[in-house]
Amino acid sequence: MSAKLLTGNGAAAWGARLAAVDYIPAFPITPQTEIIETLGAWIDHGKMDARMVTLESEHSMITAAGAAAATGVRVFTATSSQGLLYGMEMLYTVAGWRAPFVLVNVSRGLSAPITLEPDHNDILAARDSGFLQLHCATCQEVLDNTLLAYRLAEDKGVRLPVIVNMDGFYLSFTREPVALPDPETVGRFVGEYDAENIRFRASAPASQAVAVLGGSPYSYFRYETHLASQNALRVYEELGKQYSELFGRSYEPVEAYHCDDAEWVFVMMGCFATKAKAAVNQLREAGWKIGLVRPRLLRPFPGECFRRALIGKKGVAVIDQNISMGKGGVLYAELASELYGQSNMPAVLASFIGGLGGRDISSEEFFTIAATLREAVNENRTPPPRLLYTEKELREVRKLQAIAHVERQQLSAK
């Protein structure tokens, strides 16, 4: 096993290379492009035996990925932000085909206005499509979960495509030491793609199409997909143990950090959760019994894992890096539905929204969140949802808007 300084994009490319993928349909979009460039260079220089095809759009790219997986080859592709939305129709379609392949999404805030920095509205827009979702906090997790994703997607009890998600720029272009596992050991872990009855032979053409269905058979197929997604929770837990035995890095659906004795808990996902870890360490030095719970697996939703991690806690602060317009934080709402009516769950579940468009969440803000949570528990109340955005920032934006307005007037006068 060797180590390299890799970006998140580089780690994703290495994951695809080590998994020995056969086909890579691609379309470039910032900040995902480095993944495709890296794979393309390896193929050109004979370091990787795969076929790459550049399509005309993300819609075509995802169509090609699903079609190729349905012929029995191992497929990898990647996208980001608006690109994921452009291919949204085909996300539902190829998941309905039960075509197992891996798509890396590099999260970036959605237009309008345009931003190049991350939040999770793009990936959460795909949560009901049938794709499984793995969320990464480090470059090492990107590589490891890309390998885990192939075993998960191709498992006989699952057979669904998987999205491996990382945060744009903060992770995709950050270099971290990444342990590259031995290719032969990876080969034994990932194995060959057993397509079973999924195949294509030009000499013996066969249709895999399905007729238009009515409500009853349609419901059957949708329910079968739902059950397969639920199976993935058990499979991921088993694969995480196998991965730990081979490579020394353990993966569970939900990471619980300093939670055994914690009274207060942050809940976050993605690479900003590493900021929450640092805040937990600082708060513990100040005497707080506080921890962090971070889901790696978002679909299927690891409800039982959350309940085990949060049982007996006094209060939980969910910090969403997304916003569902007219509702609030998506992870908060999902966790609330999971904890409601369960015994010995936290009395206070508080909602905070931050990091939109890559806005930083400072250590001071984490301290404020913890203090707000403790005060709410002491007063036996749930605080209103809070957007982590200050009056000072608002004044600065309005000042810039005023300057721009004056400049436009001056240009018009000329």
pLDDT tens for each residue of 250-291: 999 999 999 999 999 999 999 999 999 999 999 999 999 999
Q: What is the CATH number for 331?
A: 3.40.50.920
Any domain includes 402: no
Q: What is the CATH number for 61?
A: 3.40.50.970
Any domain includes 131: yes
163 lies in the same domain as 311? no
283 lies in the same domain as 232? no
Q: How many domains are there within the chain?
A: 2
Kindly give the parts of the chain with pLDDT less than 50. none
Any domain includes 411: no
16 lies in the same domain as 84? yes
115 lies in the same domain as 171? yes
91 lies in the same domain as 239? yes
Any domain includes 397: no
Q: How far is the C-alpha of 137 from the C-alpha of 126, rounded, in Å?
A: 19
Q: How far is the C-alpha of 21 from the C-alpha of 97, rounded, in Å?
A: 20
37 lies in the same domain as 141? yes
Give the count of alpha carbons within 13 A of 314, CB side only.
20
323 lies in the same domain as 239? no
269 lies in the same domain as 332? yes
Any domain includes 258: yes
DSSP string, 188-223: HHH-----TT----TTS----------HHHHHHHHH
Domain that holds residue 166: 2-195+208-247
Any domain includes 200: no
| Secondary structure of residue 323 in the 3-state scheme | coil
Distances from the Cα of 329 to the Cαs of 7, 97, 324, 388, 413, in angstroms?
29, 31, 6, 12, 45
141 lies in the same domain as 172? yes
98 lies in the same domain as 170? yes
> Which residue stretches of 174-319 are H helix?
183-190, 215-247, 273-285, 303-310
pLDDT of residue 210: 66
24 lies in the same domain as 131? yes
pLDDT tens for each residue of 338-372: 999 999 999 999 999 999 999 999 999 999 999 99
219 lies in the same domain as 305? no
Distances from the Cα of 144 to the Cαs of 5, 20, 53, 189, 297, in angstroms?
15, 14, 25, 11, 13
Angle subtended at Cα 131 by Cα 7 and Cα 293, rounded to the nearest 5 degrees: 60
Any domain includes 33: yes
pLDDT of residue 381: 94
Any domain includes 332: yes
Residue 53 is which amino acid? V
